Each structure stands twice: as structure tokens, then as C-alpha cells.
Amino acid sequence: MTWEPGANLTTVESHILEMQRLHPSASGDFTSLLNDITFAAKIVAREVSRAGLVDILGDTGAQNVQGEAVKKLDEYANRTFMRCVGKRGQVCALASEENEDPVFIAPAEGSGRYLVLFDPLDGSSNIDANVSVGTIFSISRRLSPRDRVSSQDLLQPGRNLAAAGYVIYGSSTMFVYTTGYGVHGFTLDPGIGEFLLSHANIRIPFSATVYSTNEGNEPDWGPAVREIVRQLKHGRAGQAETRMAARYIGSLVADFHRNLLHGGVYLYPGSRRHPQGKLRLMYEANPLAFIVEQAGGYASDGRRAILDIPPRALHERTPLYIGCRDTVLWIEQCLERAAGEPAG
């Protein structure tokens, strides 16, 4: 791609610096931490784009803490983020889907004011089929004194997040983030190795036109969830103009990204077999909930805002309904009504 001479190009680094200017007292730690993340993302993007060429596909034979097979690129992405992020004293703890326990970083010269949680490679079962995958991350602030950081600092509700974002390794690689001042998207120009601002101030459309869920799980859903999906398909309260199309990739980041840009709702409900659903609160639901609220949408576990859930464990799961605000609120109402009805 060639850029017009003099075009007003904004790299992700300069955008993050501009955001820092909103906080005149900022030390620069937060800015350098975000830069670490974009750097790691570029390394993973390069590796994902070569996944079909090098002998990196396939399972490692190990299982992650969720008991799922670990694909080689999961491990690569995990190592890359672990190595690149927070090595300049900005971070006191790192937690990943792929590691049972968080890594606490001993007090060094730095202030260690931040904690980073991430899902290094989301949608990894799709890698072998060349389907989009992603990385999800969140950044929160340390609460305890520097020498007494513990899991409690990690287990803060999503409402406390300082920043969140994701990378989507798709037909192009994009980095999307928020620090609480809107949601901004950058596309990687592989020729120059820079993420360039392509989607400033993303707002989710008011109305959902697609719903995304794994309907193969329908036999395990309760009657309320079945009825909700039936109405999404046939139109809410029989109104044909509210009928939605189905789109499901099976990579949360990719499903979320499409719905954010085009208007949609993503559902991963609890089921009889898995009452808490599949997705993880701390490094999947919370970061995307922060992003969607910043873009004007909403995320719920069916009863309350995802961001208001008091976390109990690093790897806990939650049902997730996320996307256009109006539709997610309607789902909450349907579930509340069904919970009030006598079982029968």
C-alpha cells in the first residue's frame, strides 16, 4: 500500500502519547506498557501470518489450565506477551489463560503500578483452518503496597480497569483499545511495521442486525435461552423487521469485532451441562465489556453488567451476552422474567 505524501497518519504509539497528555501527571509507565503490548502483537501477527508455512501448527500435547489442548501458536503467543510486556518496571503481575498461576514481578527500579491479564491467542481451535484469531488484554492498577501484591490485586471488578484491548489477526491485523476515552482501532501496515489509526472513536450501531452463538449447544440450553434465540431469528415479539441473521466464527475476538463495527449481539449462555458457560471473566469477558461500554454497547452475564461482577477466581467462567445495548438489555429482561416464572 502507498500513502499519499503528507497524509495525516497517526501511529498507535503517537495516539497513546496523545492520550497520555490528558493526564499531565502521568509518569509514562502506562504509555510504555501499551507500547510493549503493541510490540508483542506485531511479533505474534508475523508468526500467525506464517503459520501455514512453518512447522508450528498442531497441538503441543499439553493441556492448559482449562483442560483444553494447547496449540503451538497459543504457547508462542503466551511466551511472546510474557517476555515483552512490563519489562521496564511498569508491571507487578501478569496473568494469562495459559498459566495456572499469575506471575508476580519482584519490585525492581520501577513503580510496578500495573497488572496485565491476557488471553494470548483466542479462537485457537481455528488456527489450522486459517480462520481469524486474536489476543485480548486488560490493564488494571495495583491496590496493595508494592511489596505486598497478591491475587487480590488481580481480582478487581472490570469497572476498575485502566485499559483494555484486543488484536485481531484477520485478513489484516488490527489493534483496538480503550483507556476510557473512546475506542480506537489501528490497522497494521506490514510494509512499515506500524499500526496506523484506521477507526477513530468506534461507536457500536444502535440496532443489532446479526446474532452470534453456537447453536450446536441448543439441546443443552434452558427454555429461556432457546426462546431468546428463537425471537432473535423470527423477530422480537413477532416483529419481522427485528429479525436477525446468524453469524458465528467461533473466535470470540472476531465475532465481537464484526458485531462492534456492524451491529450485533454475541451470546455464550450457561447451559444445563455448563451453568457458567465457557468464556472466562477476567481475560475474555471483562476487557470486551469495557470496550463495548466505551463504544456505547453493553455486556451482561444475563443478570448484571459483566463489569460489576466481583471476581472470585482468576480462571472463572461467566455466561456472556455482549453487543448492542438495546438487545442485551432485552435479553436481561427476558431472563429475569423467565426466572420469576414457576418451573414447569
Cβ proximity to ligand AHG, 113 vs 317, nearer residue:
317
Return the residue of 29, 36, 75, 122 that touches ligand AHG, per CB under 6 A: 122
Decide: residue 261, CB within 10 A, 0-12 exposed, 13-18 middle, 19+ buried. Answer: middle
Return the residue of 29, 36, 75, 119 that touches ligand AHG, per CB under 6 A: 119
Stretch in the footprint of ligand AHG (CB under 6 A) among 22-30, 118-126, 160-168, 296-304: 118-126
Q: What is the DSSP string of 85-143?
A: TTTTTTEEEEEETT-SSPEEPPP-SS---EEEEEEEEETGGGGGGT--EEEEEEEEE--
> Total residues contacting ligand AHG (rule CB under 6 A)?
12
Alpha-carbon distance 204 to 211, whole Å? 14
Q: Pick what 36 binds: ligand AHG, Mn ion, none; C-beta below 5 to 8 Å, kind-dependent.
A: none
Residues 121-140 that bind Mn ion (CB under 5 A): 121-122
> Total residues contacting Mn ion (rule CB under 5 A)?
4
Give least dist CB 278 to ligand AHG, A: 5
Q: Which residue has the cell 508475523?
A: 46
Give least dist CB 338 to Mn ion, A: 28
By CB under 6 A, tell whether 123 contacts ligand AHG.
Answer: yes
Q: For the window 268-307, what string marks contact with ligand AHG as x by the rule CB under 6 A?
A: ----------x-----------------------------
Q: For the window 273-292, what string marks contact with Mn ion as x by the rule CB under 5 A?
A: --------------------
Return the residue of 119, 194, 255, 332 that touches Mn ion, per CB under 5 A: 119
Give least dist CB 44 to ligand AHG, A: 13
Q: For the window 87-106, what string marks contact with Mn ion as x by the rule CB under 5 A?
A: ----------x---------
CA 215 to chain centre: 22
Strands 114-122 and 103-104: unpaired
Count of C-beta atoms within a 10 Å radius of residue 311 = 17
Q: Which residues, at least 6 apart from 159, have a Cβ–Cβ distance to it below 8 Å?
A: 307, 308
Strands 91-96 and 103-104: antiparallel
Q: For the window 125-154, what string marks contact with ligand AHG as x by the rule CB under 6 A?
A: x-----------------------------
C-alpha cell at 326: 438495546
Cβ proximity to Mn ion, 97 vs 153, nearer residue:
97
C-alpha cell at 125: 481451535
Cα–Cα–Cα angle for 130, 133, 135, rounded to 5 degrees: 155
Give least dist CB 344 to ligand AHG, A: 29
Q: Which parts of the chain are beta strand (E)?
A: 59-63, 69-71, 91-96, 103-104, 114-122, 133-141, 163-169, 173-178, 183-189, 194-199, 210-212, 245-246, 264-268, 298-300, 320-323
Q: For the window 221-260, what string marks contact with ligand AHG as x by the rule CB under 6 A?
A: -----------------------------xxx--------
- Site residues (CB under 5 A) for Mn ion? 97, 119, 121-122
